[in-house]
Chain A
Amino acid sequence: MDSWETLTRIFSRNIRAIFSKLPAAPEHIQEIRLRIQAPLLLICNHQEFFLTPEGAFSANPKTAYQVTRQDLKETLEQVGSHSLYAFEEEIRQGFITVPGGHRIGLAGKVVADQGSIRSMKFITFLNVRLAHEVKGCADAVIPRLFHRGTMLHTLVISPPRCGKTTLLRDIIRQVSEGETGVRPGMTVGVVDERSELAACYQGIPQNDVGIRTDVLDCCPKAQGMMMLIRTMAPQVVAVDEIGSRADLEAMEQVMNCGCRLLATVHGSSVEDIRRKPVLKTMMEEQWFQRCVVLKGGTAGAVEGIYQADGQRIL
């Protein structure tokens, strides 16, 4: 399994040796967690497993391999291609994307300067989140996002870890590709502030986001939306996890420019979003013609799709 081999290259020599003892590449692996002086932990299919020095899965943390400072030092060097200085902005945001689109979450001692994060030192906690692309998870949603061939402004509402980014990625791909005889492909501009959607590595999307998609990687959402409108002439602008006033102002401009908007937001229901101080205006003024609410479980599992007036259509 090439992608597994590529992934294991980012780990220290000791951890890599443990992975090499595994009889097969672990299936449905979601996360690998490295914490200093704590057991090496894998999450597969939402279940935790500890990994022993012999490369066996265990439920007992005492038998697990204990992650050392040297492991973290070596792993960080590999994650940062021996050049952590080149990832200053990513470190400030708390993650680094590696080949394959996997995201390495970082935690340690934050160096703050006048209230803003300047850097991070003593990085002693790593969370390797494996990129998951679920092609086709938006199949049931896509037909509801178009009306007489026109794409509607759409908001995906979902609690954390319920597959909102996975669903958005597949919507972007399907809108960009189009469907022969049903709807033409559209030019999509993606502002990928946290490299989650396209998971670009050195500018190349590691996830399939469609043939008519342009990606602004690691760019703040509000600025990115305006840049895309000015430079790339998108028909659809897609952003993940909106929430600030600046985002809202940029979104309003996007809509006024005649572009379609595709966005996601953290929340459990339409009502929940209506209660949020910053977001309630856009709900009251019915900016979005479709609200897709996710329920968790599998990626793209839809609880309901609602019209702008709150009427449920699915």
Chain B
Amino acid sequence: MTIQIWMRIAGAVCTVAGASGLGFWLAGQYSRRLEELLKLRQMIFLLKGQILYANATLAEAFEEVGGRTEGALSELFQKVARRTAKQDGELFGEIWQAEVKTCQNSVLTRSDMQELAGLGAHLGYMDRDMQERTLLLYLEQLDLTIDGLRQQKQERCRMYSSLGIMGGLFLTILLV
């Protein structure tokens, strides 16, 4: 066998491995997004408890909830708590929007982040009933997204993995 054939085999293996890897990565991202949304749901429940039952201010509540969890969302909550406690004259809505916009390392999609950013617009405003309604409304949205992701999880993950492998093989046939 000539070196050319060896090169072709190596190319084919790399193409299949790369495309399959991409498929598995996408399937992983899907699962991680679902996990992150479940974690966010839990955090919002904790936040609700802090606001309604402990009568904590937003800074205290975000600090407490952020301290109990880990990851990008926990970091976001703690950053918001610190910036809110600073009292630099900013409105809470502005602080929340800015921090959500710069939140990195999260697997949440742009639409998830947009919904999350919308939560801050009504927090802190008016009485405790209003806080409860705002949080319940967001939890409802979150539940819908989570249900949709759960229902399609198996199907989507299998599709991403299969498409990765098949795509790799297709490219190999086409190019090699």
Asked if B89 and A86 make an inter-chain contact with CB atoms under 8 angstroms apart, the answer reads no
Asked if B57 and A82 make an inter-chain contact with CB atoms under 8 angstroms apart, the answer reads yes
B64 to chain A, nearest CB (A): 13
A119–B125 CA distance with the chains assembled, in angstroms: 13
**Cβ-based interface call for A207 (8 A):** no
Asked if A119 and B127 make an inter-chain contact with CB atoms under 8 angstroms apart, the answer reads yes
A10–B89 CA distance with the chains assembled, in angstroms: 8
**Cβ-based interface call for B126 (8 A):** yes
Chain B 110-153 per-residue mask, 1 if CB under 8 angstroms from chain A, else 0: 00000000000000111110110000000000000000000000
Chain A neighbourhood of B59, CB < 8 A:
81-83
Asked if A74 and B58 make an inter-chain contact with CB atoms under 8 angstroms apart, the answer reads no
Chain B 69-92 per-residue mask, 1 if CB under 8 angstroms from chain A, else 0: 000000000000000110101011
Asked if B124 and A84 make an inter-chain contact with CB atoms under 8 angstroms apart, the answer reads yes
Asked if B89 and A83 make an inter-chain contact with CB atoms under 8 angstroms apart, the answer reads no
**Cβ-based interface call for A48 (8 A):** no
Asked if B91 and A88 make an inter-chain contact with CB atoms under 8 angstroms apart, the answer reads no
A82–B90 CA distance with the chains assembled, in angstroms: 9
**Cβ-based interface call for A78 (8 A):** yes
Chain A 281-297 per-residue mask, 1 if CB under 8 angstroms from chain B, else 0: 00000000000000000
**Cβ-based interface call for A13 (8 A):** yes
- CB contact under 8 A between A74 and B57, given known A84-B125, A84-B126, A85-B126: no
A12–B88 CA distance with the chains assembled, in angstroms: 9
B94 to chain A, nearest CB (A): 10
**Cβ-based interface call for B56 (8 A):** yes
**Cβ-based interface call for B55 (8 A):** yes
Chain B 84-104 per-residue mask, 1 if CB under 8 angstroms from chain A, else 0: 110101011001000000000
User: Among residues 240 to 265 in chain A, which have CB atoms less than 8 Å away from a CB atom of chain B?
Assistant: none
A-B contact count (CB 8 A): 56
A9, A12, A73, A82: the one contacting B58 at CB < 8 Å is A82
A78–B84 CA distance with the chains assembled, in angstroms: 9
Asked if B89 and A81 make an inter-chain contact with CB atoms under 8 angstroms apart, the answer reads no
**Cβ-based interface call for A77 (8 A):** yes
B125 to chain A, nearest CB (A): 7
Asked if A77 and B128 make an inter-chain contact with CB atoms under 8 angstroms apart, the answer reads no
A84–B89 CA distance with the chains assembled, in angstroms: 15
A12–B94 CA distance with the chains assembled, in angstroms: 14
B84, B89, B126: the one contacting A13 at CB < 8 Å is B89
Chain A neighbourhood of B131, CB < 8 A:
85
A13–B90 CA distance with the chains assembled, in angstroms: 8
Asked if A78 and B87 make an inter-chain contact with CB atoms under 8 angstroms apart, the answer reads yes
A88 to chain B, nearest CB (A): 6
**Cβ-based interface call for B43 (8 A):** no
**Cβ-based interface call for A274 (8 A):** no
**Cβ-based interface call for B51 (8 A):** yes
Residue contacts A-B, CB under 8 angstroms, 16 given: A9-B87, A11-B89, A16-B89, A74-B89, A77-B92, A78-B89, A80-B57, A81-B59, A82-B124, A83-B58, A83-B59, A84-B126, A85-B124, A85-B126, A85-B127, A86-B56
| Residues on A facing B (Cβ under 8 Å) | 9-13, 16, 73-74, 77-78, 80-86, 88, 119, 121
Further pairs besides A86-B55, A88-B128: 7, Cβ < 8 Å: A73-B91, A74-B91, A82-B95, A83-B59, A83-B124, A86-B51, A88-B127
